A and B are shown apart, each in its own frame.
Chain A
Amino acid sequence: MFGDVLIILVKVVLTLMWTLLLALFLTWVERKESAVMQDRIGANRASVFGLRIFGLFQPFADAIKMLFKEDFCPTFAQRALHWLAPTFSFFFVSVTMVAVPFGDTISLFGRRIPLQVVDLNAAVLFVLAMLSLGIYGILVGGWASSNRFALIGSLRGAAQLVSYEVALGLSLVGLIMVFPSLSLARIVEFQGGLLFGFLPKWGIFLQPLGFAVFFLAGMAETKRVPFDMPEGESEIIGFYTEYGGLKFGLFMFTDFLEVIVLASMATTLFFGGWQVPWLGDAGFAFPGGGRIGLPPWAVTVLRVLSFNLKVFFFCWLQILTRWTYPRFRYDQVMDLGWKVLVPLGAANILATGLILAVR
């Protein structure tokens, strides 16, 4: 009993720490990656005792700056809600990470420990629900600010997130039809098989259209630049007009957490989660007939590494997208959501159903 609680606690702390650390450094990655894309160098001045290692201390410098800023709340704002909104946003996004399996089960001290905080049997729904609840951070933040621009931003945000929620849900229905489970751990296990004897049975190969719709809708959910209706930096400042200091920092941090959540969801659902292609419990078994035996610890390490690499890749891809495309107009966002992604998602369900019925 005590051991179980301890294991859960350790897993919660480790997962949270790792995610927060990743989000913290994603701010640095974003600045550096955009710089490299634009033939610049990017933040490289933050140093500790003259040690600059590519400006890796920049996130800490930013965090310290945020901490020491004034905790400002306008007199006309609803004080309690104004304070609660960023925590809403932050909490609902960071809590989604508990459902993501980041590795196989390991055996430690005679126990089998799955490398996942909790194996919810409706994890897909849980993640979708938590992402939807994240809207409350935006809505409450905009409403509590009692500022017209903030309110416009939050209403736009609510409209955008609700409509993309639909596309997001539809895109996953096809996947759930193929891998008949709502548990993320089960879905990842299903993806361990082979397709046609050589292709790893990943969601992307079974549901390419589903992945495209999922990723686009997910990018809209993260409300970063091509879809930054709630923020709208260049027209209205959006729902965090009246926020500053650490509360604004939390909102911004939430954006980066959402990038990680989307990356890990895309990895888990469509790219095999912790599965390494052709790696079984005993080692590699290539379709050509070659075999490489590996000890269990190496297999586990490879799998955790594979999960993280995929997550890094999708974070990279999202940042690339954010710095490549100009932002949509509000009506274009709505058009893309309702006229393109929702019908495509529905078509995907239909096609998947037909194929499953015929087979």
Chain B
Amino acid sequence: MIKAWRVLRELVRGAAITARHFFVNMTFHTLRLFGIRTRRRGAVTIQYPEVQKALSPRHHSLHRIRPRPDGKPSCVACMLCVTVCPSECLYVEAAEDPDPEVQKLPAKFVVDLNRCCFCGFCVEACPVDAIRMDTGEIRLASLTRAGLEVPLDKP
């Protein structure tokens, strides 16, 4: 009998919690509907395509190659990123750079986003800090596989 009352009390408490959430949230929704600004919102939802959350500074998004002051890619085609890449998604073709200080530059630098796991090892491995993953471009979708093979050598 006592147990039954306890069960009943807990049932009512549970319903009271959800009902409280409902009414509190409804109040804030209604206030917002009538144009009254409140500090709290009725829902924690971020309506994604219209409203976008600021990305964290250490996020990983689409790769980019940093340019040199003269506009050429600062990559020296040392192949360290290709070596370290666990998903083998980077394809780099080296070419000769006329500048004897640099010696090499990529003729082709393609990242295959079909395979990339966004681990960021290429960024860590790069000796000249040429590749970075901070473009903020996170909507990476394509209707074809070829569309996900992104050339990066045009900075």
A residues apposed to B, CB below 8 Å: 33, 35-41, 320-321, 323-325
Contacts and interface: CB of A to CB of B under 8 A. Distances in A.
A36 B15 contact: no
Contacts of B42: 36, 39, 41
B26 A40 contact: no
Contacts of A323: 18
Given A320-B18, A323-B18, A325-B11, A39 B29 contact: no
A164 to B, nearest CB: 18
B15 A320 contact: yes
B45 A41 contact: yes
A258 B136 CA distance: 49
A40 B44 contact: yes
B127 interface: no
Contacts of B61: none
B43 A320 contact: no
Contacts of B18: 37, 320, 323-324
Contacts of A40: 43-45
Nearest to B26: A36
Contacts of B25: 36-37, 39
Interface residues of B, number: 16
B109 to A, nearest CB: 39
Nearest to B41: A39
A33 B18 CA distance: 10
Contact of B22 (A41, A320, A325): A320
Contacts of A38: 21
Given A39-B21, A40-B44, 18 more contacts: A33-B22, A36-B21, A36-B25, A37-B18, A37-B22, A37-B25, A38-B21, A39-B25, A39-B43, A39-B44, A40-B45, A41-B42, A320-B15, A320-B18, A320-B22, A323-B18, A324-B14, A325-B11
Contacts of A39: 21, 25, 42-45
Q: Interface majority SS on A: helix, strand, loop or mixed?
A: helix
Interface in B1-25: 11, 14-15, 17-19, 21-22, 25
A131 B149 CA distance: 60
Interface of B: 11, 14-15, 17-19, 21-22, 25-26, 29, 42-45, 47
A109 B44 CA distance: 55
Contacts of A41: 42-43, 45, 47
Name, among A36, A39, A325, the residue most crowded by chain B CB atoms within 10 Å (CB to CB). Answer: A36
Nearest to B20: A37
B85 to A, nearest CB: 38
Nearest to B47: A41
B15 A321 contact: yes
Given A320-B19, A320-B22, A36 B43 contact: yes
B48 to A, nearest CB: 11
Contacts of B29: 36
Contacts of A37: 18-19, 21-22, 25
A320 B14 CA distance: 10
Pick the 5 closest A-B CB pairs, nearest first.
Answer: A41-B45, A324-B18, A41-B43, A36-B25, A37-B22
Contacts of B45: 39-41
Contacts of B44: 39-40
A217 to B, nearest CB: 16
A324 B18 CA distance: 6
Contacts of B19: 37, 320
Nearest to B8: A212
A325 B14 contact: yes
